[in-house]
Amino acid sequence: LAKTTQPISMDSYEGQEVNITCSHNNIATNDYITWYQQFPSQGPRFIIQGYKTKVTNEVASLFIPADRKSSTLSLPRVSLSDTAVYYCLVRPAGANNLFFGTGTRLTVIP
């Protein structure tokens, strides 16, 4: 399984766009990139998943360069309620097991 590396923590002011980058140098051809969000004392919540280029949903955008060795989760205009830990995972399509890395603790400041 490809190992992922993310910043341990980030701070941002309310209303700003936040970009969290994840490195996955050993990503395999059939691997997808998935991001989860976890609030304190809650289970993780799926945010977005992609394979290449750009994916956008109502919550976030995911940018993946051509070499796929990294990905960037973009959260537009964050609010205090976006304070959470964000995990980047890389796994083959249809794979059962999810292995969570350290995640990025995002703190949104008023």
Partner 1 sequence: GAVVSQHPSWVICKSGTSVKIECRSLDFQATTMFWYRQFPKQSLMLMATSNEGSKATYEQGVEKDKFLINHASLTLSTLTVTSAHPEDSSFYICSARGGLAGVDEQFFGPGTRLTVL
By CB under 8 A, name the one of 15, 56, 100, 109 that touches partner 1. Answer: 100
**DSSP label at residue 42:** S
Which CB, 13 or 100, lies closer to partner 1? 100
Checking DSSP bridges between strand 104-109 and strand 84-92, what pairing results, if any? Answer: antiparallel
Checking DSSP bridges between strand 104-109 and strand 9-13, what pairing results, if any? Answer: parallel
DSSP string over 47-102: EEEESSEEEE-SS-EEEE-TT-SEEEEEESS--GGG-EEEEEEEEETT--------
**Residue 13 is a binding residue for partner 1 (CB under 8 A):** no
43 bridge partner residues: none
Taking the complex as a whole, the smallest distance from the CB of residue 17 to partner 1 amounts, in Å, to 25
The helix/strand/coil state of 4 is: coil
By CB under 8 A, name the one of 35, 87, 106, 108 that touches partner 1. Answer: 87
**Residue 97 is a binding residue for partner 1 (CB under 8 A):** yes
Taking the complex as a whole, the smallest distance from the CB of residue 97 to partner 1 amounts, in Å, to 6
20-59 binders of partner 1 (CB under 8 A): 32, 34, 38, 41-46, 49
Q: Which residues bind partner 1 (CB under 8 A)?
A: 32, 34, 38, 41-46, 49, 87, 93-94, 96-103
